[in-house]
Amino acid sequence: MDLVLVWFLAIAVLWTGYLVLEGFDFGVGVLLRVIGRDNTDRRVMINSIGPVWDGNEVWMITAVGAMFAAFPAWYASMLSGFYLLVFVVLLALIVRGLAFEYRGKADTDQWRAWWDRAICYGSAVPAVLWGVILANLVRGLAMDADHVVTAGPLDLFTPYTVLGGVTTLSLFTLHGAVFLSLKTDGTVRSRARVAALRAATVAIPATLVFLAWTQAAHGKAWTLPVVALAGVVLVAGVFLVARGREGWSFAATAITVGLLSVTLFGSLHPMVLPSTTDPAYSLTVENAASAPYTLTVMSWLAVVFLPLVLAYQAWSYWVFRRRVTREHIEPRPVYGGDDGPGHSPTGTPAGTG
């Protein structure tokens, strides 16, 4: 198989993995102050994603690194065109990471409240902007013959791209609520089910309309059944969580996010960044790719190291598979104790005691 196509598919898979895995992280963060009525509830929610959230972000880092190495022209034009949005996303992710670590460094309600807001906004902002970026990637940007993006920041916000942001925010919120209903127990679990059903009232229509719009404007013949399947699985996932089948429901929302990504990247290929100025100026998988030697070396490295990374992440999910409850959250120690993500105040990993 052509290595150019292989690496386009690899990058699409990496972004799909990121959206599926980081998607429920974002959803948990968005719901932190909605479902969590007190500090113990919020620590249960944070501990549910504590062992995995930073590992999930590695998918994004790997995807961007693969774009840089395999399609440097795509990387350069995309990041220059989305510079402001990407900067805001990275700033939000930094703030969110700091909030996870620092919310337990002082034992005051005001201190924790500020960091809890940082987690909420640090999750909601990327959840919206990734949808805007991906929608713009499919729609295309104004770009000249030298592949320099001439579109301004306001040009990135159109009805289609704004709908993309609403879709990812609502879908990730639903995904996170279902994850909480699967990973926690007690009051957090029951509130998460209610939150999932409420999020579905936005996620279902937004996702269905966005998928239909993408298919009508940019889709291929083979993406039509993918779009139809995504809609069916999404509705089934909401029905399943209402019936208390959290495991199957989480699989359904994960598949929906994955099929959304497949639709977007499938609609994009063989382009990697269409030009709305002139189709002749568009970047394709062929004119944006690195030299064959570079792609060959990258392929061998991926064959060696990718299975190890996947095995490690699968192992971490298996180790921390148990539900997190309020009983796992011990009373806070004297000021200075650690209740960061994934750990109890004594340092015991969440879900192991």
Express each pLDDT in 98-123 by its tens digit: 999 999 888 888 999 999 999 999 99
Is residue 78 in a domain? yes
Assign 337 a pLDDT band (cuts: 50, 70, 90): very low
Is residue 345 in a domain? no
What is the enclosing helix (H) or strand (E) of 261?
A: helix 246-268
When divided into structural domains, the chain yields a total of: 1
Cβ 40 vs Cβ 329: under 8 Å: yes
> Phi/psi zone of residue 342: left (φ > 0), alpha (ψ -120 to 50 degrees), beta?
left
* Tens digit of each residue's pLDDT (9 = 90 or more) over 148-207: 899 988 999 999 999 999 999 999 999 999 999 999 999 999 999 999 999 999 999 999
The yes-or-no verdict on residue 321 having pLDDT over 90 is no
Mean pLDDT throughout 218-247? 96
Residue 324, strand partner residues: 184
Q: What is the DSSP secondary structure assignment for residue 156, as one 8-state letter?
A: G
Is residue 342 in a domain? no
Is residue 281 in a domain? yes
Is residue 337 in a domain? no
The C-alpha angle 258, 158, 73, rounded to 5 degrees, equals: 65
**130-164 burial by CB neighbour count: b if 16+ within 10 A, else e?**
bbbbbbbbbbbbbbeeebebebeeeebeeebbebb
The CATH number covering residue 85 comes to 1.20.1630.10
> Phi/psi zone of residue 147: left (φ > 0), alpha (ψ -120 to 50 degrees), beta?
left
Show the domain range for 220.
3-292
* Tens digit of each residue's pLDDT (9 = 90 or more) over 276-294: 999 999 999 999 999 999 9
Q: What is the mean pLDDT of the chain?
A: 91
Give the rounded percent of residues in the chain with a pLDDT score beyond 90: 78
Is residue 138 in a domain? yes
Is residue 264 in a domain? yes
Instruction: Assign 3-class secondary structure to 15-53.
Output: HHHHHHHHHHHHHHHHCHHHHCCCHHHHHHHHHHHCCCH
List all residues 6 or more positions away from 329 whose beta carbon is below 8 Å from its beta carbon. Answer: 40, 43, 44, 47, 339, 344
Range of lowest pLDDT (134-138, 296-300, 323-327)? 323-327
Is residue 247 in a domain? yes
Helix, strand, coil percentages in the chain from 3-state DSSP, rounded to 5: 75, 5, 25
* Tens digit of each residue's pLDDT (9 = 90 or more) over 7-45: 999 999 999 999 999 999 999 999 999 999 899 999 999
Mean pLDDT throughout 305-313? 88
* Tens digit of each residue's pLDDT (9 = 90 or more) over 51-65: 899 889 999 999 999
